[in-house]
Amino acid sequence: MSDVICTASAADRPFEEEHRDFCVAAVTNGTFRYRAREGTAMLAPGALLLGNPGTCYECGHEHGAGDRCLSFHFGPAYMERIVADVPGAKTLDFGTPRLPPLPALVPLLAEAEAAREMADAGAFEELALRIAGAAVTAACSATDRGRTPSRRDQKRVAEAVRRIEVDADRPISLAELADETATSPYHFLRTFRHVAGMTPYQFLLRARLHRAAVRLRTSDQTISAIAFSAGFNDLSTFNRRFRRLMGEAPGTYRARRRRP
């Protein structure tokens, strides 16, 4: 596992690199444009970058400076064993450049980010295997079809994503985000969903719940304090949404998953 912190900005020209092994990188902060043989995509927090061995790629930051990823690398023989155990997986190579922030991945990525914050290196052997299996499973049913989003669309969504990241604990309306990108609410909603893989509100909720999950694992704050600081107005709403996404109540999640 590599904790990759990038400080590139729009002033830095992207340069071509090559994946030596299979790569699954979870974006934890920032946005960037990823271009590979499998296509071009805008990567935002919660998304997974996918790379195949021998594939050349470029990462551009014309929409904002910097990003941070948890990057996992797997040799072909190791990945082949993973694919063999995933029902429905027929090919070894990833056919899409990224997976959007899928609800099914939120608990796993929150656990990985919490392990990084606590410097729990021993947890990453299992986490790497689970993340690779989840990526292969999700990629089997990925449908990144249709037109490639324009650079203007990607820029608008990247700006909105960074705004949500900064102000996730505050009320943010669709109309407000659309005004800031100089588009109509309908056009912005359609564009955001096409580029990011979910609606702005779904992304906002994911950001809030992800932060709350990490804090439940890494802090001694009360559940109510974590809920309010994450942007939820009442504890019952937080409990209900957390249970729906994570599969268990916040208290159970903390008690069962938090490490000493």
In 3D space, the residue among 252, 251, 203, 255 whose CA is nearest the CA of residue 231 turns out to be: 203
pLDDT at residue 144, rounded to an integer: 46
- 2-140 placed in CATH 1.10.3720.10: no
pLDDT at residue 142, rounded to an integer: 61
Q: Where are the domains of the chain?
A: 2-140
Q: Are 50 and 139 in contact (CB under 8 A)?
A: yes
Cα 122 versus chain centre, distance:
22
Cα 41 versus chain centre, distance:
13
User: What does each of the 260 residues of the chain score in pLDDT, given as a tens digit?
Assistant: 899 999 999 889 888 999 999 999 999 999 999 999 999 999 999 999 999 999 999 999 987 889 999 999 999 998 988 888 887 787 788 999 999 888 888 888 988 998 898 888 878 888 898 899 899 988 886 644 445 678 888 888 999 999 998 999 998 988 899 899 888 887 888 889 888 888 898 899 999 999 999 999 999 999 999 999 999 998 999 999 999 888 899 999 998 865 54
pLDDT at residue 257, rounded to an integer: 65
- Tokens matching residue 26: 């979870």
State pTM to two decimals: 0.71
Exposed / middle / buried, residue 222 (Cβ in 10 Å: 0-12, 13-18, 19+): exposed
How many other β-carbons are positioned within 10 Å of the β-carbon of residue 15? 9
CA distance 89 to 82: 10
pLDDT at residue 249, rounded to an integer: 94
